[in-house]
Amino acid sequence: MPNYTAPVADMLFILHDVLGLDDRETSEAVLTEAARFAENVLQPLNRTGDEDGAKLEGGSVITVPGFKQAYHSFVEGGWQSLACATEHGGQGLGTPLQFAVAEMINAANISFSLAPLLTAGAYHALSAHGSEDLKQRYLPKLVSGEWPGTMCLTEPQCGTDLGLLKSRAAPNTDGSYTITGTKIFITYGDHDMADNIVHLVLARLPEAPAGVKGISLFLCPKVLDTGDRNAVKCTALEKKMGIKASPTCVMNFDGATAWIVGEPHRGLACMFTMMNDARLLVGIQGLGLASAAIQNATSYARTRLQMRAPTGPKNPEGPADPIIVHPDIRRLLLTNRAMIEGCRALALWVAQELDISHKHADPARRQQAEDRVALLTPVVKSMLTDLGSQAANDGVQVHGGHGFIRDTGAEQFVRDARICQIYEGTNGIQALDLVGRKVPMHEGRLVADFFATVTNHIRQSPATMAEFTTPLSVAVKNLEEATTWLTRNANNREETASAATDYLRLFGLVAIGHMWCRMVAHATPQSPKPAVARVYFTKILPETASLLARVMSGAVPLMALPGEDV
């Protein structure tokens, strides 16, 4: 059975030593308490959640025993309101701390984490775009978590391509709307953990233009202010590969009462406020799973005895050496550790920039921070969720055949991690967002700031950092060359789309390399950070050269065959 110990010390190091945030004492108190909740309340429910799964009984979704109580403890502990603005009744403790806590919750129990994740997104969308009346009625309960939120986009014919959406909204004389349609794959669309659920639903008004320009956003509660049940219900639950305790619902809106959020036909822009936040948090899901999977694999590798070390016995009294002596096991554990710690630093940096983009006194600094968040959101979502799957698979490999057997829990991480690469916009779509929107945005302003940030840091680093900054400079050159290639081919969308996934990884590896340089610069002499950084700079970062070659190989190799011969 897996165990989980939250990496509180590493999180504090990144938040306060590397990113320079103040009030370490508060962070330490919050993270220590969050670690207790994740380790002692959520983690023990992870296995039974997977085995029992959520159930649909008599038209209502029943969560796995223990989830309801855990959710009540979560709300009572004030965990949902941690980063919400104080003017909305939140604690205003900031996004970096929220992300660190979210990593722990995901590592302990990803199925549970989805309810708070979507509630946080609904809070952002409503606080940014809702009318005063709607905010008064719904924000306090979303902030506390008493009424969790959902995100209702997907329909059977409409997944990535939201322009195909069919659900309808008809205006009523009292200012409300009536929603009709079927949504699928709705996470926590129904459950018994709360008295009410706040659905944010995309639908079309009468006479709306076709495509994405004709979509509006609505708030549709499960229970109306009168106490009556609204005409929205879960008609089926999906049977799925992982995250089995998180109900994935088919939702029927059968003349349900709702209120518009934001302007008519501008719903997609409003929903993007929710989705951008959710994309970063889905990245955190991948990171949390990677961390838990590799922690368990490392413990196993310290105790499993097989064969002798290549340099001779390290455990001469025993029948064999622990497998942690073998270089290939080291490769599996340490390459993942280097990615996990680098990705953690990257995500927390983006969280810090997110807060700066809202709160900094200087508008130019706010703009720079907004640019950084926009550029790095698809990178964080994809890199961290790819890591989640890779680390979970490598965790199974370290366990050998025992990893394939349910008892070790290693295989559950693989099944749970897989969805993170798909929902909130598949990783392929994140890559298209990076090359098609973010890189060319404002004539390359976002990407130019990123290059300036990384190269200035390299230039200002002392000579003692050369073993790290020199390979990073090479990787930056590879990324610059790939960016020039993209810009040159900007008018040929087949070329840029063919390069997108490789370009995103190249971008991500440079961003993580930048964070590693920042971490090593702050590491104490006793810290293992420089040793782990060496793994990153020698075993992982050189991949940027092959990624550049793949980017520049263009579309022809992929598009030469006709569809029927692929």
492 scored as a contact of ligand FAD (CB under 6 A): no
| 494 catalytically annotated | no
- 525 by DSSP, 3-state: which? coil
Which parts of 228-257 interact with ligand FAD (CB under 6 A)? 240, 248
- Strand pairing category for 149-152 and 198-203: parallel
Interface stretch with ligand FAD, choices 18-26, 45-53, 58-66, 418-426 (CB under 6 A): 418-426
Shortest Å distance, C-beta 500 to ligand FAD: 8
177 scored as a contact of ligand FAD (CB under 6 A): no
Shortest Å distance, C-beta 242 to ligand FAD: 8
Shortest Å distance, C-beta 427 to ligand FAD: 8
Alpha carbon distance 48, 66 (integer Å): 9
260 scored as a contact of ligand FAD (CB under 6 A): no
**Which bin fits 409, alpha (ψ -120 to 50), beta or left (φ > 0)?**
left
Cβ atoms 264, 215 nearer than 8 A: no
Which parts of 135-154 interact with ligand FAD (CB under 6 A)? 151-154
Alpha carbon distance 246, 419 (integer Å): 12
Interface stretch with ligand FAD, choices 88-96, 190-198, 329-337, 421-429 (CB under 6 A): 421-429
Residue 351 or 432: which CB sits closer to ligand FAD?
432
Mask for 279-318, x = binds ligand FAD (CB under 6 A)? ----------------------------------------
- Burial pattern 475-497, b for ≥16 Cβ within 10 A else e, equals bbebbeebbebbeebeeeeebbb
Shortest Å distance, C-beta 159 to ligand FAD: 2
Distance of CA 154 to the CA centre of its chain: 19
Shortest Å distance, C-beta 138 to ligand FAD: 18
**Which bin fits 227, alpha (ψ -120 to 50), beta or left (φ > 0)?**
left
Cβ atoms 178, 259 nearer than 8 A: no
**DSSP codes, 174-216:** TS-EEEEEEEEEEETSS-SSSS--EEEEEEB-TTPPSGGGGBE
Catalytic residue of the set 155, 341, 411, 424: 424
Q: Which member of 77, 92, 140, 159 binds ligand FAD (CB under 6 A)?
A: 159
Which of 106, 124, 8 minimizes the C-alpha distance to 357?
Answer: 124
Residue 200 or 329: which CB sits closer to ligand FAD?
200
Q: Which member of 44, 264, 428, 471 binds ligand FAD (CB under 6 A)?
A: 428
527 scored as a contact of ligand FAD (CB under 6 A): no
Alpha carbon distance 318, 496 (integer Å): 56
CA atoms within a 13 Å half-sphere pointing along the CA-CB vector of 209: 8
Interface stretch with ligand FAD, choices 256-264, 336-344, 374-382, 426-434 (CB under 6 A): 426-434
Q: Which member of 252, 426, 453, 473 binds ligand FAD (CB under 6 A)?
A: 426
Residue 154 or 389: which CB sits closer to ligand FAD?
154
Strand extents, DSSP E, 290-349: none
Interface stretch with ligand FAD, choices 322-330, 377-385, 422-430, 472-480 (CB under 6 A): 422-430
Q: Which member of 179, 186, 203, 205 binds ligand FAD (CB under 6 A)?
A: 186
Cβ atoms 110, 286 nearer than 8 A: no
Cβ atoms 529, 519 nearer than 8 A: yes
382 scored as a contact of ligand FAD (CB under 6 A): no
Which of 363, 378, 298, 356 minimizes the C-alpha distance to 331?
Answer: 298
419 scored as a contact of ligand FAD (CB under 6 A): yes
- The amino acid at residue 380 is V
- Burial pattern 299-337, b for ≥16 Cβ within 10 A else e, equals ebbeebeeeebeeeeeeeeeeebbbbbbeebeebbbbbb
Q: Which member of 423, 485, 503, 537 binds ligand FAD (CB under 6 A)?
A: 423
**DSSP codes, 38-73:** IIIIIGGGHHHHHHH--EEETTEEEPPTTHHHHHHH
Shortest Å distance, C-beta 157 to ligand FAD: 9
Shortest Å distance, C-beta 428 to ligand FAD: 4
Q: How big is the site for ligand FAD, counted in residues (CB under 6 A)?
A: 19
Q: By the criterion CB under 6 A, which residues form the site for ligand FAD?
A: 151-154, 159-160, 185-187, 240, 248, 419, 422-423, 425-426, 428-429, 432
As annotated, the active-site residues are: 424
